[in-house]
Amino acid sequence: MKLLLFFLIVLSCFIPLKAQEYYKEHIKSEMKRGERSLRLNKIQYPGDDRFDVTYYKLDITIASVAKKKISGNVVVNGKSLADSLQSIYLDLQSVLNVDSVLGKNGKLGFSHLDNKLHINFNSAINLGEEFSIAVYYGGTPGSSGFGSFEFGSHNGAASIYTLSEPYGASDWWPCKDTPADKADSSDVWITCATSLIPVSNGKLIEVVTNPGSTHTYKWKNSYPIANYLISLAISNFVEYEQYFKYSETDSMPVIHYIYPEHFNQVKPELDKTIKMLEIFSEKFGEYPFLKEKYGHAQFGWGGGMEHQTVSSMGFYAFNPSTISHELAHQWFGDKITCKDWHNIWLNEGFATYSEGIYFEALNGKNAYKNFINTEMYYAKLAKGSIYVKNISMVNEIFNSYRSYAKAGIVLHMLRGVLGDSLFFRTLKEYANHPEFSYGVAVTEDFQAVTEKVSGHQLEYFFKQWIYGENFPVYSVYWNYNQQDENNYTVNVHINQSVNSNPAFFSMPIQLRILTQTQDTIITVFNDQQSQSFSFTVRGVPYSLVFDPENWILKEVSVVLSAESDEQKPLEFTLYQNYPNPFNPSTKIKYTIPSSDSPLLGGKRGELITLKVFDILGREVAVLVNEEKAPGVYEVEYTPLNTHHNVSLPGGVYFYQIKVEDYIQTKKMILLR
Ligand SMILES: [Zn+2]
């Protein structure tokens, strides 16, 4: 699921006022609904644990759009988990009226109190024995959370839809309202006016035309399904069908059900779905519901929801990030479902991170890095642990900073810890795990898969990032001493500010050290609040970059500490550029001696020029032309010919520094 709040903030400066209003109104009504659901004290968790659901069949008629009424029956098949099971309960909101409950041999006694439908069997069910009951009911469905069952409209036509996550399924149908117990399969039959097309999970098996201008659509899902992923979306849709060709000979339909007035506008976005299916199939293993379909059904909520085989999408959700997010949920959320809402990050963190995987596959490393930077910004706003402590509040479960941004960044950090190969093997192994795939999982299950694939002990990682809070704040001090003619000892001291939980973070950290002759990345394992590391490099070190690939959610300050000679250069120096040869850019470092240096004669502020010449001695760039105080400087050179604003050809160039009568020239090579 993805609520488009960020989108609203980012776009509010240039989306039309009407759309802004739509969002504001929408968010207000969301909040109202949230409050109402809490007042109703409807949270029922984790459902009756005396039986295991095996099958649901919903046969629902939209009885009256004007009166917002439904009627129908729901078949629940289950297996007893108790000896001599006399009764069970299903979750069903009390505002709905139950007419009768049928068992194998006729009517069963029931009572419907406090949103629970208690059903008594005529004869006890043995342990492991199967039973089947049918609940006949009707009324106006309740609405909680994000609006579990809505009678809406668009452009004069009805739009009736559901969004049950997390606790809304029992607002409109009797079920065991917990993600922990999946049915092995499900059917949804919907009867409505012939002007409307009802869409649900799985394959459309049959359309029956009834007397009185109604028809019945029979949808069949043959895969395990969590109750909150069973959905309805009903409107006067345009149907747009594509094919995902997943092998030489096989393809799967990708079907979009869109409001007619929006179809032309959203079609270019819909057309990106096939490529996403290719990318995610390669990364996570084959699409989980390949025998059935994928697709989208438009609905009136301001976001997207990953209903199994058919994501429900608001108009503004038709953008690459939300489309890829909901598609990724088909693996992480639908195929593997979080066992409880405490572990919602296994759904939302994975779907959020998958957006980055899509951008990276499509547009490369920089697109990925930009995505990560944005998510890190929001991740830093997260308060409390990713593991949701208070699951009685819908807004706590779906906190966008924690369950989405920070949880997504946890996967980015895990990728940093494991490296690409082990990380992607882990994701694939998890998505296809014999126990968890088409089942449910908690954090420890994912951790176990990660540890098995990688051979690493990762208790520290999950404990601090999933159950802990905040992120490390590092202060890094470094200096160096010369060992001999070529070798230098680099000393790095890493200090972490004291955090609440954990007190400090343990992480492998990459340090990139640049010397005149080397570019080295050293990985240290930082597992103390305050810790020192030393290592030897060749050449004078002139730069230390902490976590150069930005793997870690953090704040950091890096200081070259005062003991280092570097602070007080004694003479003019022009260093060899780095890297060399280079393309597209290189760095040139130079020092201006301090005034107490005998070489400078007590003067402060020198006019410095640093210029680049081609092999024929023609000036091609002026990098510095100003007065500089004593110190160490570095300038980055990206060789455009600054005089003509054209790219320079590859080859040998010279760079020359001039300070009064000090002139020094060095050679560098541009690669093209
Ligand atoms: Zn989501």
pLDDT of 42 > 60? The answer is: no
Distance 396 CA to ligand 1 centre (A): 14
CA–CA–CA angle 443, 449, 453 (5° rounding): 145
- In this predicted model, what pLDDT tens digit does every residue of 75-107 receive, in sequence order? 999 999 999 999 999 999 999 999 999 999 899
Distance 528 CA to ligand 1 centre (A): 35
pLDDT of 40 > 60? The answer is: no
Q: Can you give the length of the chain in residues?
A: 672
* 137 contact partners, CB below 8 Å, separation of at least 6: 71, 72, 73, 74, 92, 96, 97, 98, 99, 174
CATH number, residue 369:
1.10.390.10
- Of 436, 467, 498, the position where a domain reaches its end is 467
DSSP lists the bridge partners of residue 332 as: 336
Distance 345 CA to ligand 1 centre (A): 9
274, part of any domain:
no
257, part of any domain:
no
What band does 143 get if pLDDT is binned at 50, 70 and 90? Answer: confident
- The answer to whether the CB of 631 falls within 8 A of the CB of 591 is yes
pLDDT of 23 > 70? The answer is: no
Distance 22 CA to ligand 1 centre (A): 21
Distance 386 CA to ligand 1 centre (A): 15
- Of 467, 500, 519, the position where a domain reaches its end is 467
Distance 400 CA to ligand 1 centre (A): 10
- The answer to whether the CB of 626 falls within 8 A of the CB of 618 is no
CATH number, residue 604:
2.60.40.1930
Distance 630 CA to ligand 1 centre (A): 54
Distance 512 CA to ligand 1 centre (A): 36
Dist CA 76 CA 329 (whole Å): 26
Residue 201's pLDDT is what? 98
Distance 2 CA to ligand 1 centre (A): 5
16, part of any domain:
no
Same domain? For 658 and 524 the reply is no
Which domain range does residue 636 map to?
Answer: 573-670
- Give the pLDDT mean for 223-236: 98
Same domain? For 346 and 453 the reply is yes
Same domain? For 349 and 212 the reply is no
Same domain? For 523 and 607 the reply is no
Distance 344 CA to ligand 1 centre (A): 9
Same domain? For 216 and 108 the reply is yes
Distance 329 CA to ligand 1 centre (A): 7
- In this predicted model, what pLDDT tens digit does every residue of 145-158 receive, in sequence order? 888 999 999 999 99
Comparing CA positions, the residue from 666, 577, 657 lying closest to residue 625 is 657
Distance 509 CA to ligand 1 centre (A): 30
Same domain? For 460 and 493 the reply is no
Distance 466 CA to ligand 1 centre (A): 18
- In this predicted model, what pLDDT tens digit does every residue of 417-468 receive, in sequence order? 999 999 999 999 999 999 999 999 999 999 999 999 999 999 999 999 999 9
Dist CA 672 CA 669 (whole Å): 10
Distance 3 CA to ligand 1 centre (A): 8
Same domain? For 503 and 596 the reply is no
Distance 281 CA to ligand 1 centre (A): 18
Single pTM value for the model: 0.81
Dist CA 599 CA 594 (whole Å): 9
What is the token pair recorded at 459? 């208790």
296, part of any domain:
no
pLDDT of 403 > 90? The answer is: yes
Same domain? For 187 and 102 the reply is yes
Most confident of 24-33, 140-149, 528-537, 568-577: 528-537
**Per residue, what are the HEC states of 194-206?**
CCCEEECCCEEEE
DSSP lists the bridge partners of residue 219 as: 188, 204
43, part of any domain:
no
Residue 595's pLDDT is what? 55
DSSP lists the bridge partners of residue 55 as: 77, 185
Same domain? For 618 and 525 the reply is no
User: Which protein residues have a CB closer than 5 Å to ligand 1 (ion)?
Assistant: 1-2, 348, 351
- Of 409, 444, 467, the position where a domain reaches its end is 467
Comparing CA positions, the residue from 408, 409, 429, 253 lying closest to residue 336 is 429
Mean pLDDT estimate for the chain:
90
Distance 365 CA to ligand 1 centre (A): 23
252, part of any domain:
no
Which DSSP string do the residues of 485-500 spell out, in sequence order? SSEEEEEEEEEE---S
Distance 557 CA to ligand 1 centre (A): 34
CATH number, residue 538:
2.60.40
Same domain? For 369 and 495 the reply is no
Query: Both ends of the chain: CA-CA distance in Å?
Result: 47
Distance 64 CA to ligand 1 centre (A): 32
CATH number, residue 60:
2.60.40.1730
* 140 contact partners, CB below 8 Å, separation of at least 6: 67, 68, 69, 70, 95, 96
E-only strand ranges, 629-671: 631-637, 640-641, 646-647, 651-659, 662-670
**Percent of the chain's residues with pLDDT above 70:** 89
Distance 343 CA to ligand 1 centre (A): 13
pLDDT of 313 > 50? The answer is: yes
Q: Which of 98-112, 430-444, 567-581, 594-608 shows the lowest per-residue confidence on average (mean pLDDT)?
A: 594-608
Distance 155 CA to ligand 1 centre (A): 28
More confident residue, 37 or 383: 383
- In this predicted model, what pLDDT tens digit does every residue of 500-516 receive, in sequence order? 999 999 999 999 999 98
- The answer to whether the CB of 234 falls within 8 A of the CB of 198 is yes
CB neighbourhood size of 84 (10 A): 12
Distance 325 CA to ligand 1 centre (A): 6
523, part of any domain:
yes
- The answer to whether the CB of 33 falls within 8 A of the CB of 11 is no
Residue 584's pLDDT is what? 84
pLDDT of 130 > 80? The answer is: yes
Distance 328 CA to ligand 1 centre (A): 9
Distance 5 CA to ligand 1 centre (A): 13
Which DSSP string do the residues of 129-166 spell out, in sequence order? -EEEEEEEEEE-----TTTSEEEEEETTEEEEEE--TT
CB neighbourhood size of 14 (10 A): 7
What band does 45 get if pLDDT is binned at 50, 70 and 90? Answer: low
pLDDT of 672 > 90? The answer is: no
Q: Which of 7-11, 65-69, 492-496 shows the lowest per-residue confidence on average (mean pLDDT)?
A: 7-11
- In this predicted model, what pLDDT tens digit does every residue of 188-201 receive, in sequence order? 999 999 999 999 99
Distance 75 CA to ligand 1 centre (A): 29
Same domain? For 190 and 74 the reply is yes
Distance 251 CA to ligand 1 centre (A): 26
- Give the pLDDT mean for 353-380: 97
- The answer to whether the CB of 583 falls within 8 A of the CB of 540 is no
253, part of any domain:
no
Q: Which of 144-148, 412-416, 483-487, 499-503 shows the lowest per-residue confidence on average (mean pLDDT)?
A: 144-148
Our count of domains for the chain comes to 4
Same domain? For 482 and 628 the reply is no
pLDDT of 62 > 70? The answer is: yes
- Give the pLDDT mean for 575-600: 76
pLDDT of 22 > 60? The answer is: no
